[in-house]
Structure 1
């Protein structure tokens, strides 16, 4: 059983996270390139937020939302 956990450790240390190790060495040369993964996530998040706001505006313009004062029957 111990060999199984060592195999999992070897896979993640030597194979799965190898690209991230390369980014650590790039940090000394180019900060923007080393943080490319972070920039990618920020761009995806910004695009998702803009898409979500456009969808909310579309629903608001069509008056599809129930804007009554009490949204639940028990209120």
Structure 2
């Protein structure tokens, strides 16, 4: 059983994380953080898209009145 877990550790450490190790040992800060900049850009674009969708929803005066936890008597 021990060799099974050592095999999993070897797979991740020596094979799957190899590209990230190469980024870590770069001498350029911009090059090492290129992947982080891509993720930040994707998140920023998704945030802008979501805000535009919420604005469109708000501008159409749409409101989900079918879901209510109070009777509002």
Q: Specify the TM-score bucket, using the shorter chain as the normaliser.
A: 0.7 to 0.9
* TM-score, reference length from structure 1: 0.83
Structure 1 residues 1-75: aligned runs within 5 Å = 1-26=1-26, 29-66=27-64, 72-73=69-70
What is the rounded CA distance, in whole Å, between the counterparts of 1:46 and 1:58 in structure 2?
18
- After superposition, the Cα gap between the structure-2 partners of 1:74 and 1:2, relative to the gap in structure 1 and judged at 3 Å, is farther
Unaligned runs of 5+ residues in structure 1 are: none
Aligned-residue offset at 1:25:
1.3
1:74 CA drift (Å): 5.4
**1-structure distance, mates of 2:63, 2:35:** 37
Unaligned ranges ≥5, structure 2: none
Aligned residues: 70
TM-score (norm 2): 0.85
Q: Moved runs in structure 1, 4+ residues, more than 3 A? A: none
Q: CA RMSD in A?
A: 1.7
